[in-house]
Every structure is written in structure tokens, then in C-alpha cells.
A and B are shown apart, each in its own frame.
Chain A
Amino acid sequence: MTLLEVKNIEMQYAQRPFMFKRGQEAPVLQGVTFSLQEGECLGIVGQSGSGKSTLGRIILGIERPTKGEVLFQGINLYETTSKHKKIIRRDLQAVFQNSYHSFNPKHTIFEIVEEPLLNFEQFSKTERQHKVRELLDCVELESTIAQKNPSQLSGGQQQRVNIARALALNPKLIVLDEAISSLDMILQKHIIQLLQTLQKDMQLAYIFISHDLQATRYMSDRIVVMEHGQLVEEIGKDEAYKHPASLELYNAILPSHPRERTKKFFR
């Protein structure tokens, strides 16, 4: 079943809100259209500044696009009653690119992970404590971390707290914006495996935004490539990249052996 439909999205940041719109800049996103099935993982790759995070925010319903619509389970995110929105909210979660900034600096890790539970579940305090411990355990974090502040965590720990928070409500779709890029290889592998298990067990769908082609390839059922705010190519799991923009990204991967590097990089 189709979970998400993104139709003809255009995004242009206005210099001035309301009334005084000045100088037109090139749109950040243009004619972006794709759809996502339940339980599917869609990879989005593209150069820095190509509009991936912006697209992510639009899909999440927190930034209204200039044109186009986003349908989640058939409901338009930007034209819906607040009651519907609350239901959608639960099923549509996110891991932000910048983990540290996505935490309220005044909160402890416990308060951060607990927040979605407070809003959607009728849990008692002990139930919440139990659930938070379970979630932290899921992303391989010690439960002693719960009383710390975000600034006392390493970048990788922050990212995992973010993932734990996104998992708290058993959503249907998680937008993962560079969600594992500051983890070491071993942890990356563990988290990817965890995400894939959840995907199977709970029919969870992902939008996996990354510049890491290998991780994306490993994670995704389908990959779309973005360039200057447009989708330029869509490939299946085992297909090769063809579009010049994709090849440029692909060729920029460092080969694992130094001997093979020289040719490509120092021509």
C-alpha cells in the first residue's frame, strides 16, 4: 500500500514573510515527485546543498512547500484538521541531521526520549522509565546516560538518542537525515541492522537521506539522486547509477586501497 505520496513539490525561501517579497532566488526544490510504499526504504542521495534536508522537513509536515502536496496515508499534510494531524504526527517521525541542535539544551536525555510518550501514551512514570530504558538499550546506550544533558554526550551517542526518540512511538515512517553518519563503522552496522529488523517486524518505512552511497545502497530498496533541487535519477537496489550527477557522487568514493586512489584523484 502507498504510504507517502509527494507530488510536484516546489520550495522557495522568501526573503521576507508576508507582503514584502523581494528578489526571486532559484527555488531550493523543483518538481519533486515520488511515492513510498509501506515498509519500504527509500534512499535520497545528492550533493551538499541539493535540498535533501529541506525535502525531509517538507515530508515531515514542519515546513510548508511553496507548491505541491504531500499525502501521508492519503491525507494532505498541509490541508488537514488538527485532529487528523495529531494522528499523522504519531506515525511520522524523524532523526535530524544535527542531533545536538535537535535537543532542548535544558532537558535531560530521559526527558528528551520521554517526550513523545508524554504526548501520545497514557503511561505512568514508572512505565515511561521502563520504556525509555528499553529504547536506549535498543540503540546500545547505557541507561545511566538518561540523567545526563545532551552536551555531555558524544556525537554518536547524541545520534542514537535521536534514533531512540524517533522509535518511541512505533511510527510508520521515519525520515533519517544523516542519521548514522557520525557513528563508527561497527555502530553503523549495528544500527542499520536494528533499523532493518524493525522494518521487517513492524512494517516500518524509511527515508534514508545521506551522502554516504555505500550505506544508502545497503539500507535502501530504491535510491533517488538529487541535484540542484530536482530528482535526476531513480534506481533500484541492484541497478547502477547512470546520470552524470550520480556518477560524480559515485566516483568521489575513495577506493579502499590507496593504490587505486591515485589514478582517480590526482589525474
Chain B
Amino acid sequence: MSLLRKERANVKRLFSLTILLVIGLLGLFAPVLMPHDPLAVDISKKFLAPSWDYPFGTDHLGRCVFSRMLLAIRYSLGSALVIQIVAILLAILVGAFVALKRGIVDYLFIRICDILLAFPTLVLAFGLLGLLGPSLKNVLIALVFTQFIYYSRLIRGLFIGLNEKDFIQAARISGTSGIKLIIRHYIPNLLPPIVTIVVLDIGKVILEIAGFSFIGLGVQAPIPEWGMMVNEGKQYIRQHPELMLYPGLAIVLVVLLLNHLASSFKKLG
């Protein structure tokens, strides 16, 4: 890999990371930064144009769109982040266990994964949501589950790829085993692919949460979430397209930045 390409990947990474960080901080400090209560309804103020008081104007119920956008960061980006972290940690536990155990446990694991993965993740999540009922909590559970299955299979494969490596066998001979072996040897050598895929999929998960909310299965009104806001805005698309545009653009921006970031990780290796 040439130095120039590495340098460019570095700049790219720094760029996307900074913007994402700013967005993340905006979400974190949303309660302080919000100019108005994002849930406060005031019909007399509906569809106000952007002003100093209401930077993005107001929606059909007279709520401050800017405040809602800020709070929505928590529900969109925040939940996606939580889903990804929980799913990958569970997946590392299970994937590592079967990869180190092999034999019948591994065989059964693979069969079960194959069956579950035969359904597209969205269909699987739909099924789960059908069972659990629509709510933000259940969306989180359903998506953690689908991501977890997919990742544990992936992690198992990555681990098995290292199983036969000389340095793993040398470590065993040095007396390292179990959790210590995983933490000292497997994880550090598998971090780049794991981080890449987790970051890349945050975008996918944001889209899925938004998708569920859009069709009414996810976040329930009046809580703001980008997909949900697009849904609310769609009734007024002719008169006030900006109501859909703000959350739509936010989704596109964050997903693109995450892809950008993930691809820079891949290049840096």
C-alpha cells in the first residue's frame, strides 16, 4: 500500500469521524441545545417558516422541527449504535465459543444460522416484531437479534480462519487458553475487519429503524425519529416538502459518512 493512499485514507477517516462526532455530540447534548420542547404541540404555530426562533420552522402540529431533529439523533444514530455494540459483543461470545469448540456444537450452530439467515434480515425482524408488537424497545430487540445471528456466523468464520495458524498453536503451547487466548490473540488480529463491518452496518441499521418507524412498527409518536419524521412529513409533501427533506437528508448524510468511514478502515487494514 502506497504512502499516498494511506495518507488519503487517513484524511478521509478524520473527516468523516469529525462530522459524525459532532452529530453524536449534538444528540448527546440535545436537551441543552434544543430551543423548544420537541413534543410541545401548538396548532396555532403550525407550518411556520424558518426563523431565528424556529431554525427549521415548525411541523403540522406546530412543533419545533430543529429541536425534533436534534432529539431524533438519539433515537436514530443512538439506537443503531447500541444495537451494533450489543449485537457484536454477543456475537463475539457465541462465535468464539463455537469456533474454539468445533464438533457437534459448531455443526448445529451452523445449521441453525443457515436456516435463520435464509430469510432476509428485514423479514426475520418483521416476524419478530409481529410476535413482540410494535415499539422502540421491540425494534431494538428484533434488530439486535438479526444482527447478532449474522455477526456470530461471521465471527465464527474469522476465528476458525485463525485456529490453524501457527501463532495460535504457539500461544496454546505457551499455556494461553480460553478467554485469554481470545483477548490476547484472536481479537487484536481480527479487529480491523470487525470494526469495518460494524461501522458499515450502523448505516444499514439506521435505515432499518427508519424503515420500521416509517411503516409505523417502530418508534411511536410523538417521539421523534428520522424515519418517523419522514413518515409524518409525507402527508404534506406538496405544500411543505422540507418537512421530509430535513430528516431524509440527515439519514443520507449519516449513512454516507459511515460508509466513508468504514471504507477508510478497510483501506488502512
Q: Interface on A for B, CB 8 Å cutoff?
A: 17-19, 57, 60, 62, 86, 89-90, 92-94, 96, 98, 101-106, 115-116, 118-120, 165, 169
Contact = CB atoms under 8 A, between A and B. Distances in A.
B167 A102 contact: yes
A94 B170 CA distance: 8
B137 interface: no
A114 B102 CA distance: 29
A102 B175 CA distance: 14
Given A17-B102, A19-B107, A103 B170 contact: yes
A98 B173 contact: no
Nearest to A94: B173
B120 interface: no
B177 to A, nearest CB: 8
A187 B1 CA distance: 35
Given A105-B189, A106-B189, A96 B166 contact: yes
B36 interface: no
Interface centre among A19, A89, A169 (most CB of B within 10 A): A89
A192 B134 CA distance: 72
Contacts, number: 60
Contacts of B204: none
B176 A119 contact: yes
B175 A104 contact: no
A103 B188 CA distance: 13
Given A17-B102, A115-B176, A102 B170 contact: yes
A104 B103 contact: no
A65 B121 CA distance: 41
A92 B170 CA distance: 12
A57 B165 CA distance: 13
B45 interface: no
B167 A104 contact: yes
B174 A116 contact: yes
A52 to B, nearest CB: 15
Interface in B166-184: 166-167, 169-176, 180, 184
Nearest to B164: A63
Contacts of B170: 94, 96, 102-103, 165
19 contacts: A17-B102, A18-B103, A18-B104, A57-B169, A62-B169, A89-B175, A93-B173, A96-B169, A101-B167, A102-B166, A102-B169, A104-B167, A105-B167, A115-B174, A115-B176, A118-B176, A119-B180, A120-B175, A165-B174
A144 B167 CA distance: 23
Nearest to A82: B177
B185 interface: yes
B174 A119 contact: yes
A2 B150 CA distance: 51
A119 B185 CA distance: 14
Given A62-B172, A94-B173, A103-B167, 18 more contacts: A17-B102, A18-B104, A18-B106, A18-B107, A19-B107, A62-B169, A90-B175, A98-B166, A101-B166, A101-B167, A102-B166, A102-B167, A105-B167, A106-B188, A115-B171, A116-B174, A118-B176, A119-B180
B171 A104 contact: yes
A230 to B, nearest CB: 25
Contacts of B171: 104, 115
A179 B234 CA distance: 72
B165 to A, nearest CB: 7
Contacts of B184: 104, 115
8 nearest A-B residue pairs (beta carbon): A119-B175, A101-B166, A102-B170, A116-B174, A102-B166, A106-B188, A115-B174, A104-B167
A240 to B, nearest CB: 35
Contacts of A119: 174-176, 180
Nearest to A168: B174
B8 to A, nearest CB: 24
Interface string B70-111: 000000000000000000000000000000001110110000
Contacts of B102: 17-18
A7 B235 CA distance: 80
A18 B180 CA distance: 27
Nearest to B178: A82
A101 B165 contact: yes
Contacts of A57: 169
